[in-house]
Amino acid sequence: MFKQLRTLLKKVINEAAESGSNDTTSMHLAMASLLCEVSGADHQSDKREDSAKLQLLVKLLDISEEQAQQLLLEAVAKSKASTSLYEFTTKLRALMPNERYDLIEAMWAVAYADGIIEPMEEAVIRQVSDLIYLDHLEFIRAKLAAAPKNQ
């Protein structure tokens, strides 16, 4: 009986260890997808927003530009196929508060990249902020931090 229990525990521990790296990958994809959701909220493609997404992913996730480009390719497809933000945000509730703030600030930076904050962009960011339990004060602080300094 103890042998079976030990085997079962080893299996559970190994599965947890393997899913840990998978969780990180799915969290990164969720973050990238949310940046795509913001840039696509106004139904217009803008090179400045695309560039901002790439640079923000490199900074936010501490990955190479090539990795960020690959992640964005997957994220664009995932974002187009999604029916709600909930499928992305449920994975991100495990983030630390400062990581949640950084994500929202990055989303604001993407929205500001083309020089115009569209109402749908703000709505997406507000909804994500609520879904990942970011305080409204932090939501506003992130918006102000991401705003271009010449405004």
**46-75 confidence digits (pLDDT tens):** 899 999 999 999 999 999 999 999 999 999
Residue matched to tokens 């998978």 = 22
Return the domain boundaries, the chain.
1-146
Cα(first)–Cα(last) distance of the chain, in Å?
70
State the CATH class of domain 1-146.
mainly alpha
90 Cβ contact list (under 8 Å, min separation 6): 131
Q: For residues 87 and 91, what is the distance between their CA atoms, to the nearest angstrom?
A: 7
- Residue 95 is given by DSSP the state S
pLDDT digits (tens, 9 = 90+) for 9-51: 455 444 444 444 448 888 999 999 999 999 998 888 789 999 9
Phi/psi at 52 (5° precision): -60, -45
DSSP-based three-state secondary structure for 84: coil
Does the predicted TM-score (pTM) go above 0.85?
no
